Amino acid sequence: MTRPRQLADTPSLTATVPRQLVHRAAVAETFLTGWRRTGADRFAVSAQWPRAHALHVSPDWSAYDPLLVVETIRQSGTLVAHTEYEVPLDRQFVLTEFQVDAEPATLTLGVLPAEPEVELVFTDVQYRGGHFAAARYTAHVLRDGARVATADVAFTCVSGPVYRRLRGGRTPETVTAVPVPPGVSADAVRRALPTDVVLAPADADRPDRRQLRVNTAHPVFFDHPLDHVPGMLLLEAARQAALLETPGERVPTAYHAVFHRYAELDEPIWIEAKGGHGTDVQVLGVQGESTVFECLVGTAGS
């Protein structure tokens, strides 16, 4: 009995890794397809990028957004922590730093989904009480042998009981996000849909400051219920703030971010941007009297 032609002509079949290993609820938001150990604390992770995506592909389907690279690197570190360092699935991961520099020329769409490889090196792995507690890793993203991006990431992870103590009883069920204000024009931040706009218009007396629009129904940023604002939403806010600050056709290609504390859902977050006259924009996320995160966004001509 012969196999169907479409299977006989296919050299291998590919599926995504289990979505739980990258902290995603939707298979469609799981971009990794496999991994292997290449040396001591060294790993190679394979991925596939879709040719259409609500956020991570340009509205004209011509290019991948650098934030897709960021999400792929985040998923890669999470996957390796669970599979190679035996971090239990109930642990909570907290990003503390994320620095990435991407090459926009390598992010064009082709006739098939891109299949990049992420080379990871874990350093400064820390244990407390015999349990994995924190690490830093570097990442090199390659596409057909060409460098797509380099990154340096630091994170911590805590057990469920410790996380609950840190959060002081805040859960997705007990915390209600502030009302979502109107947004800036979708065209101004190069998004196809108004629902993907994450910044409100600036006030006349504070033209450098805009409120973050936190829509917990968003299927990408809130792929699953959360008790805080996710880091990827904060980075998208930095992206959109940089686009509003930079003249002409410059595009964000680099993000050097530090996350200082949890961004809460039930209090307004203000995104402040400075710069834009050269190539870099400094973005701050402020909640109350505290800086939640800061991000230097590098831009390049499109």
84: three-class secondary structure by DSSP: helix
Strand partners, 141: 118, 149
Return per-residue pLDDT of the chain as tens, 302 residues.
333 444 444 455 679 999 999 999 999 999 999 999 999 999 999 999 999 998 999 989 999 999 999 999 999 999 999 999 999 999 999 999 999 999 999 999 999 999 999 999 999 999 998 899 999 999 999 999 999 999 999 999 999 899 999 999 899 999 999 999 999 999 999 999 999 999 999 988 888 899 999 999 999 999 999 999 999 999 999 999 999 998 777 889 999 999 999 999 999 999 999 886 668 999 999 999 999 999 999 998 86
- What are the distances in angstroms from CA 196 to CA 117, 187, 270, 290? 28, 11, 17, 26
Domains, the chain, ordered by start: 5-165 (3.10.129.10), 169-301 (3.10.129.10)
Instruction: Please report the pLDDT score of residue 155 as a whole number.
Output: 97
What is the model's pTM?
A: 0.93
DSSP string, 4-55: PHHHHT-S----PPPGGGGT-S-GGG--EEEEEEEETTEEEEEE-B-S--TT
236: three-class secondary structure by DSSP: helix
Instruction: Please report the pLDDT score of residue 1 as a whole number.
Output: 38
Q: Are 76 and 16 in contact (CB under 8 A)?
A: no
Question: How far apart, in whole angstroms, are the C-alpha atoms of residue 73 and residue 117?
Answer: 10
Instruction: Please report the pLDDT score of residue 54 as a whole number.
Output: 87
Q: Are 7 and 18 in contact (CB under 8 A)?
A: no
Q: Are 230 and 219 in contact (CB under 8 A)?
A: no
Q: Pull the structure tokens for residue 273.
A: 């941007």
Establish how many alpha carbons lie within 13 A of residue 239's alpha carbon, considering only the half-sphere containing its beta carbon: 25
